[in-house]
Structure 1
Amino acid sequence: MSRPQSLASRLTFGTEELKDLLLAWVALGVAFTFFYERVTATSIAAFVGSQAFLVALAASLLTAGIGFLLHELAHKVVAVHYGQIAAFRADYGMLALAVLGGLAGFLFAAPGAVVHRGRLTERQNGLIALAGPVTNLVLAVIFAPLAVLGIDLAWRGLSINLLLAGFNMLPVGPLDGKSVLSWSKLVYVLVAAPSVLLAAAALLYV
């Protein structure tokens, strides 16, 4: 009788998935850079050609980018744990909207999703959805002590992960909150209420 495969051995990444993750990581990094640096359509040409752009982009890739990657990886890990065949697929239209939104002074960060196939219970589906926002909350907790010390990169990491958690817990469209709410109203309220409130607070200091 063969042993069941470990989670690590089942957690594989195809070429197309790695390409989508890379494109989404870079696009979100650019979107958050434009948003945080208050770049507009009239100032974009001068800004993109400056050293300040490279510094700001590196900060966004290390904060928004890592927050996004770990968010999606959390979805995938839990899905694979429940026996799913799972992979991230980028939504190129939404990535373009994120970049344009950053220029316009707002963000709609829905770069794609981890798609999976296989039979799931409502609870399992809810836990897969919950894994992403909870990961962002954990990252926010990690960044928080350094942000209190006044480290700019840590503050950006804190605020971005709070925004990602709060936004994804909204119970609309393809966002994680809808699946969590369908599974458990109690769990949804316990996670969504602080996530949305903290995200709103973060917006006040962006």
Structure 2
Amino acid sequence: MSYRTDRNSDPELSFSDAELRDLAVAWLTLSAAFALLFEPIHRGGNVALFVEMVVLSLVTVGMGFLLHEIAHKVVAIEHGQTAEFRADYQMLFLAIMGALVGFLFAAPGAVYHRGQITERENGLIALAGPVTNLLLALLFLPLMILPGILGVIGQMGIWINLFLAAFNMIPFGPLDGKSVLEWHKGVFTLVFVPSVLLAGFVVFYVGLF
């Protein structure tokens, strides 16, 4: 997710201590939330399986979330913006609470970018995150046919990245889809529709595992 403000500043590709802290907290919290969704220990799930799921989520959610946000940051800087990720601690709490009841609202924070920018450039910055997740889903696809832990990582990587792409393309509030839709309806449709269909297909027809 990305969010635009209007204050100008000289852009540079760097990560502050506060940004690294927020990325780490969001990564760990999202991983725990996904693990609760996959292996609901609070409903009598196996503790060992839950711990294993947390580790797997750190890998798959970590790649999906971190590269999504870094993609926003890199594209924003390429367009002359100052960009930095900030965690939303209320939304992280909501992610954990939602996972406990079987629903995950994955909006852990946003890359805030500042500077003069066009509507097209703002749309491209927003689009970078979901497109990155779709590409990651493709990268995880070959692992899915492998046996054992690699196959599980492949399945989780595909599902999580399709979910993140579809969710973030919803044209509502601070989510990426709203900025993309405001810029170009055709591009929005081209990314949003396949993301939702693929995520729905995996959840309702293939299954998570």
Which TM-score applies when normalising by structure 2? 0.88
Instruction: Tell me how far 1:145 sits from its aligned partner.
Output: 1.7
Judge which range, 30-39 or 178-187, deviates more. Answer: 30-39
Task: State the number of aligned residues.
Answer: 193
- 2:26 is matched with 24
Which structure has more RCO (C-alpha within 8 Å, separation ≥ 6)? 2
Instruction: Tell me how far 1:100 sits from its aligned partner.
Output: 1.1
Aligned-partner SS, 2:111: strand
Mapped to 1, the partners of 2:152 and 2:50 lie a distance apart of: 16
Verify the 8 A CA contact 1:167 1:199 in the aligned structure 2: no
Mapped to 1, the partners of 2:57 and 2:83 lie a distance apart of: 27
Mapped to 2, the partners of 1:187 and 1:159 lie a distance apart of: 23
Please give the per-residue CA displacement for 1:157-183, whole angstroms capped at 9, x wherever unaligned. 111100000111111111100000000
Mapped to 2, the partners of 1:89 and 1:32 lie a distance apart of: 20
Judge which range, 17-26 or 145-154, deviates more. Answer: 145-154
Q: CA RMSD in A?
A: 1.5
Instruction: Tell me how far 1:120 sits from its aligned partner.
Output: 0.6
Q: 5+ residue gaps in structure 1?
A: 1-8
- 2:4 is matched with none
Matched, 1:37 2:39: yes
- 2:160 is matched with 160
Q: How does 1:126-141 map to 2 (within 5 A)?
A: 126-141=123-138
Matched, 1:96 2:93: yes
Verify the 8 A CA contact 2:15 2:84 in the aligned structure 1: yes
Verify the 8 A CA contact 1:168 1:175 in the aligned structure 2: yes
Verify the 8 A CA contact 1:91 1:111 in the aligned structure 2: yes
Mapped to 2, the partners of 1:124 and 1:20 lie a distance apart of: 25
Please give the per-residue CA displacement for 1:15-65, whole angstroms capped at 9, x wherever unaligned. 11000000000000000000011333x548xx5xx4333211110010012
Structure 1 outlier segments of 4+, above 4 Å? none
Please give the per-residue CA displacement for 1:103-124, whole angstroms capped at 9, x wherever unaligned. 1111110000000110110000
Verify the 8 A CA contact 1:163 1:202 in the aligned structure 2: no
Verify the 8 A CA contact 1:39 1:103 in the aligned structure 2: no
1:64 partner letter: V
Which TM-score applies when normalising by structure 1? 0.89
- 1:190 is matched with 190
Please give the per-residue CA displacement for 1:66-117, whole angstroms capped at 9, x wherever unaligned. 1000000000000011111100000000001111111111111000000011
Mapped to 1, the partners of 2:203 and 2:167 lie a distance apart of: 11
- Percent identical residues: 56
Mapped to 2, the partners of 1:105 and 1:148 lie a distance apart of: 27
Q: How does 1:4-153 map to 2 (within 5 A)?
A: 10-40=12-42, 42-43=43-44, 50-149=47-146, 151-153=151-153
